[in-house]
Amino acid sequence: MNLTVFDAAGKQVGSYEIDPAELAPKINRQLLHDAVVMYQANLRQGTFRTKSRAEVAGTTKKMYRQKGTGNARAGSKRSGVRRGGGHIFAKRPRDFGFRMPRKALQSATRMALAARLADEEVKLIDSLSFEVPKTSAMAATLASLGVAGQTVLVSPAKHDGNLWKSARNIAGVSVTPVADLNALSILQPRTIVMTTAAIDAFREEAKQRQSGSRTRAARKQGGRSAARSRAAQTAAPAGEA
């Protein structure tokens, strides 16, 4: 597929050819879901706490006698079924965080960007840099790209302090270098704005990881074949005897 490359003024200055299957041959929706759930769970503070019936204020005296009143049996005012009583299953601080395998998260990141590319939700810009922080210039660039008022992820090749300061006061706009991208940051916004240098770096990183995986798989397969060969050679004399 060919992506249009724009400049900061919103004019078309070229095209960029990329195949989403190069980043991820297939999109595993379950893996993307698991990765997003993990990132969101790790963002939870888990600092909530409520009082149980043992912690709320109030007497523990029996409210009225057991029989003869016509009312249901009742004990303490602190019971969770009464107003002002404690929570029956009181909440306690807890850690919701968990981790997935590193390779699974790396694969989910590539799948997320491949899915956004296939859906034509990525806009490319030739360069995006500012000599000094300028929010109005960043807002004008986003407006020229037609993404003003949307949630936007801006991804440069490397961290740029002026770019980050220019975008931090614009609602819905986040700046994340390509090395810090993950499945949640890619799937969350409506549109992604990437520089050509950033997508080149992403493609190069994906190529290195995929070639490394193939190399490790080949070494593992070669080791298994060698082991089978040695086992066959060892068993051959015994079979002949």
Q: How confident is the model over 111-165, as pLDDT tens digits?
A: 999 999 999 999 999 999 899 999 999 999 999 999 999 999 999 999 999 999 9
Domains of the chain (ranges plus CATH)?
A: 2-38+102-202 (3.40.1370.10)
Radius of gyration of the chain from Cα atoms? 29
The predicted model scores a pTM of: 0.78
Please give the share of the chain, as a percent, with pLDDT higher than 90. 81
Write the DSSP assignment of 54-92 as a string of letters.
TTSSS--S-SS-SSSSSSPP---TT-TTSTT---TT---
pLDDT at 229: 75
d(CA 122, CA 114): 10
> Where would I find the beta strands (DSSP E) of the chain?
2-6, 12-17, 122-125, 152-155, 173-175, 191-195
Low-confidence ranges of the chain (pLDDT < 50): 239, 241
pLDDT at 241: 40
What count of other Cβ atoms lies within 10 Å of the Cβ of residue 7?
16
**Amino acid code (one letter) for 216:** R
